[in-house]
Chains A and B, each alone.
Chain A
């Protein structure tokens, strides 16, 4: 990542050479636009100020800045009022998200409703913590993307806490696969994924060999029908295993290409596929209730 200084702020320039586009310019323009809107607000706390922040079209990024100013001023009432405005303006999307995020679990209606509310309430709490934290400046630059990220954190924490996901550490599943906790819920592990992983494991003797996914039909099934399952499973894998699985099974990269992208050896790619296989196989067993495999 190229780091440049713009207005004294360290920026990352994500360039797109093919378009001659440099997003640093966009970032500076965006900051400048929000700063202009913020600076144009009437004096903090006056009636005109509150009318302005309650305008439905006021950028949420500007409202985040207002929340932080309220916190810095020790104005609890003002802080709460602006936070409530932000929650109001995002509630439909976030409530929909909570409902949608749990759909793949196939829960009964009552349980789904109850869990969706908990998920939404947890998200509200996370968002509120972020809004009052001045050390998170990106909320003042791209609110929606920060919200998206917060929803990701919230979703993962919630699924783990509720026992829908296992929490895998990179050491435990490698050394103590028998201790993995059985999961609940109606999640499916794609058989095609395990089949393909099995093929990969055959190369773990260290011999040179390109991982080829020959069963194209299985792969198509994996990419299309089981796509969401694969992605949800990837989220449960230890960090180091995710990239390998995604590159090979989601993006269709070869083992060599994957090794090149991640700057690791072919053997490491195969080892990671092997670890992922152990984890996913364990989960498949728990779904079947087949503790003996």
Chain B
């Protein structure tokens, strides 16, 4: 099961648990009939949930001990947690802890969400050729010329933090470019084949005139 499928199963089983917690009695058969492609995974979760999770005293045991108000400060890390954390840090490799491969991250994110570049373009309000220039394998638009509105829309569409999108373009806060390990920091190597966002907008043969005009306004409002 890939990540996208696991996300599907998470949403489906979330609904099952929500029904249970709301006092309803969801029928497994109804869920399996509705989502036959995930029958095995749903059954597995339901069996596990009723075998182990359903008898737990409450979701928020750590957050709010029974009958007591929420603590004003965080609890101390338990001895077990401290040892477990140390053990985990030893096992998790530095490669896993590094930011993703920035050359492919946004493309990969789109792929995992089963979004084509054309779909991303449609949602962002751009044309496919411009999105290709923005997040394709060989981005060619100078990051400093891209309006913040593009980053906001990409963050929405790809369900990523705005900062992650900005970091991808080497523009984390626009004041912290140095700490952002991105392809866009290598602009000097690529200046010869880069263009501004405005140029991309003006030159695109795919972008409808209405959208072109809207982006001109956005560029103007952002002083670009």
Contacts and interface: CB of A to CB of B under 8 A. Distances in A.
Interface of A: 1, 5, 7-10, 12, 14, 23, 27, 38, 44, 54, 56-57, 65, 68-69, 71-74, 76, 79-80, 83-85, 87-97, 100-101, 117, 120-121, 123-125, 128-129, 132, 134-138, 140, 142, 144-146, 148-149, 151-152, 155-156, 227-228, 231-232, 234-235, 239-240, 242-243, 246-247, 250-251, 253, 257-258, 260-263
B166 to A, nearest CB: 9
A9 B113 CA distance: 8
Question: What 9 A-B pairs come out closest when comparing CB atoms?
Answer: A8-B123, A239-B40, A231-B51, A92-B62, A121-B84, A8-B157, A125-B88, A124-B84, A242-B43
B163 A56 contact: no
B186 interface: no
Nearest to A43: B173
B56 A96 contact: yes
B163 A231 contact: no
Contact of A135 (B47, B53, B84, B108): B108
B7 A137 contact: yes
B181 interface: yes
B190 interface: no
A173 to B, nearest CB: 16
B83 interface: yes
Nearest to B41: A239
Contacts of A138: 7, 10-11
Given A69-B164, A92-B61, A128 B92 contact: yes
B115 interface: yes
Contacts of B51: 228, 231-232, 235
B167 A73 contact: yes
Main secondary structure of the interface of B (DSSP, over half): helix
A211 to B, nearest CB: 15
A76 B94 CA distance: 11
B91 interface: yes
Given A9-B157, A242-B43, A261-B33, A144 B70 contact: no
B112 interface: yes
A142 B29 contact: no
Nearest to B14: A145
Interface string B108-135: 1100111100000001100000000000
Interface in B78-117: 78, 80-81, 83-85, 87-89, 91-92, 96-97, 99-100, 105, 108-109, 112-115
Nearest to A79: B97
Contacts of A7: 156-157
Contact of B44 (A90, A242, A257): A242
Contacts of A239: 40-41, 43-44
A84 B70 contact: no
A268 to B, nearest CB: 12
B109 to A, nearest CB: 7
B205 to A, nearest CB: 24
Given A68-B164, A152-B45, A250-B28, A56 B71 contact: yes
